[in-house]
Structure 1
Amino acid sequence: MTARTLVCYGSSEGQTASIAERIGDALEADGYDATLVHLKHPPADLDLEAYDGVIVGASIHMGHHQQYVTAFVRDNVEALNRLPSAFFSVSLTAAGNDTDSQETARELLAELPTETGWEPDRTLTVAGALKYRQYGLLKRFAMRGIAGRAGGDTDTSRNHEYTDWDDVESFALEFADELVALQEG
């Protein structure tokens, strides 16, 4: 039996959408059924009960995940807690290799589940990207200043991607394998 997995997400600059797509591709390549939904404009008839499991993704901007993702989780918390579910949080903080950055990324990840009462079975902090070439002039220089203070990349002539794609794919496949084990169990 193929596990049907909903991969829903919020994305402000496209990196979280790319990560959700990679999760969906990894699931499908391994024989699972994945449906992707951007939560900014979900279909009116979205029914979590039609899926065997749900993966939710959101990115951090100004210290918080997208409000529409938080609202979706809050509105669907009973189903999310009943179904196998997972959460991935994308941030530049997760790109830091130091202990403080990693701890902050974990704290940021925990805020959404704590705020909504959701208890995901699996979570992952994911390093995002600095998409300097997509930013407007003011945002580009603001992000360069923030990145510089954090010891990050400040070359605004190109984008800088920090996502560990192998980690993302492993997260997806481990979650799917758990779904299949539950179905067979």
Structure 2
Amino acid sequence: MERREPRVLIAYGTTNGSTAEIAERIGDVLSKEGCVTTVRSADAAWRNVVEYDAVVLGGALYAGRWHRDARRFARRARRELTVRPVWLFSSGPLDASASDRDIAPVSGVRRIAARIDARGHVTFGGRLDENARGRMARMLVNSWKGGDFRDFEHISAWARGIADDVGSALEGRAGL
């Protein structure tokens, strides 16, 4: 049987675009590592999970909660997510803490991970700039708490780990 490249969906929930840029980086790395990737917003992608061999789902953190679109994706696609390898990521701390140490997922993400038997979760630093939408976001920026705290080397390394793992996870499946 001919081996084919694994198809990976990278879905994300974001308000100001930072998490989308993280998802794009993950998609780029997975593509370079031999996966066929699709990067889409979570609100547009949940109906198509069956087309993929694996899923990476990410959400921005706001006030200790995962972005609504990421939560809805996990709920709507739960059945499909439980039968394929899934990795989760969060973005949000507006400091260097995510690069300095592992940050446990917030309780809602921890519950989602348990329900779908996710293979892993990581929290990346976030970005908040002067173009951020929302009253609270503007208040943070105006009080000098904004900035870009994403570590793209850390993001790339995590994605390379997924590329290694996705091949192993799917090796025994028919058609791969």
Q: Does 53-62 or 170-179 show the bigger shift? A: 170-179
SS at match of 1:36: strand
Q: Secondary structure at the match of 1:47?
A: helix
| Number of matched pairs | 168
1:81 and 2:79 correspond: no
Instruction: For structure 2, list consecutive stretches of 5 or more residues without a partner in the other structure.
Output: none
What is the TM-score normalised by the length of structure 2? 0.81
Q: Which runs of 5+ in 1 are unaligned?
A: 149-153
Which SS does the other structure have where 1:25 is aligned?
Answer: helix
Residue 34 of structure 1 pairs with residue 21 of structure 2 = no
Cα separation, 1, equivalents of 2:34 and 2:74: 27
Correspondence for 1:15 = 18
Q: 1:47 to 1:144 in 2, by over 3 A?
A: closer
Distance 1:70 1:180, change over 3 A: same
Shift of 1:31: 2.3
The amino acid that maps onto 1:32 is: C
Q: Which residue of 2 aligns with 1:124?
A: 122
Distance in 1 separating the partners of 2:82 and 2:89: 16
Q: How far apart in 1 are the matches of 2:32 and 2:26?
A: 10
Q: Which residue identity is paired with 1:177?
A: D
Q: Of the candidates 147, 150, 158, which is equivalent to residue 171 of structure 1?
A: 158
Contact kept? 1:90, 1:127, Cα under 8 Å: yes
From the superposition, tell whether residues 39 and 180 of structure 1 become closer, same or farther in structure 2 (CA, over 3 Å): same
The equivalent of 1:2 in structure 2 is: 5
TM-score, normalised on structure 1? Answer: 0.77
**Do 1:113 and 1:120's aligned partners in 2 also have CA atoms closer than 8 Å?**
no
Identical amino acids, percent of aligned pairs: 23
Where in structure 1 do 4 or more consecutive aligned residues deviate above 4 Å? 136-141
Question: Does 1 or 2 have the higher relative contact order (CA < 8 Å, sep 6+)?
Answer: 2
RMSD: 2.8
Cα distance, 1:138–1:11 mapped onto 2, change above 3 Å: closer
Q: Deviations over 1:152-178 (max 9, x none)?
A: xx27xxx62111111111211211211
Contact 1:95 1:128 in 2 (8 A): no
Quote the Cα distance in structure 2 between the aligned partners of 1:111 and 1:62. Answer: 12
The structural deviation recorded for 1:119 is: 2.1
